[in-house]
Amino acid sequence: MPTGGGKSMLFMLPAWAAPGGTTIMVVLLILLRQDMARRCRQLGVSCVAWDRQRPPDEVAIVLVTPESAVTSDFQLFINWLVMMRRLDRVVVDKCHIIMYC
């Protein structure tokens, strides 16, 4: 789908329709993260950016950078979501340009 074609609705709609779970969204750029948070707010979907100092308790979407997604703090958060049966999905935005070395 082209830019602006509605791909985000593929995970925003389920996050909104099935409350109680968490979607992890790996977002490459801060600008994209800000835009995603804005669009979630407009749709009434709870969304926060990952902050290791204040891990979110109950939120539909957590936005995280690739660098933060591989830290031990974030791994603990993911494990907690799994143990609590709250991890619904992991979505990678712009996955074609992420390279892990």
Question: pLDDT tens-digit profile of 45-98?
Answer: 899 999 989 888 889 999 998 889 999 999 999 999 999 999 999 988 765 555
Res 39: pLDDT: 86
Res 95: pLDDT: 59
Supply angle C-alpha 28, 54, 13, rounded to 5.
55
Res 38: pLDDT: 87
Q: How many CB atoms lie within 10 A of CB 39?
A: 14
Spatial contact of 78 and 23, defined as CB atoms under 8 Å apart? no
Spatial contact of 40 and 91, defined as CB atoms under 8 Å apart? no
- 100, pLDDT greater than 70: no
Amino acid, single-letter form, for residue 34: Q
Residues contacting residue 97 through CB under 8 Å, at least 6 positions apart: 28
Token pair, residue 58, equals: 């109950």
